[in-house]
Amino acid sequence: MGLIWFMSSNPDDMVVQLNSSKVDAYFKESLHLIEFAILYVLFAAALKVHGRLTPALNIAAAAAACLNGVLDEIHQSFVPSRSSSLIDVAKDIIGVTVAYWIISKRKKPVR
């Protein structure tokens, strides 16, 4: 969460700048999906430390990651040279949803 907050506190070209503007834009837009999927996985792993990841804990991890996506966009709206949008919130939530689906559907290992 701290890394996401730090990155969104700085101009977007400070993090990475690629030669092609189209590639740069696509890369930065895909980061929304990736970073919030990773955040969800980290939340889920933290909740699983003391036992099984129950459906309720899994939903709580996903909700916490989605809430962080919303808060990150609100935060960006106050940062000069940054913008926020509902599209970005949707990308954050899609990233979380895909990771949630993968973890929820993962088969149990056979022993």
- Does 4 have pLDDT greater than 70? yes
Ordered by start, the domain boundaries in the chain are 2-105
Neighbours of 47 (CB within 10 A): 18
Q: Is 81 left (phi over 0), alpha (psi -120 to 50) or beta?
A: left
Q: Are 30 and 23 a contacting pair, CB within 8 Å?
A: no
Query: Using one digit for the tens of pLDDT, what is the confidence trace for 47-100?
Result: 999 888 889 999 999 999 999 999 999 998 898 888 888 999 999 999 999 999
Retrieve residue 54's tokens.
Answer: 């129950």
Q: pTM for the full model? A: 0.80
pLDDT digits (tens, 9 = 90+) for 9-21: 766 555 555 566 6
Angle at 4 (CA atoms; ends 94, 80), nearest 5 degrees: 105
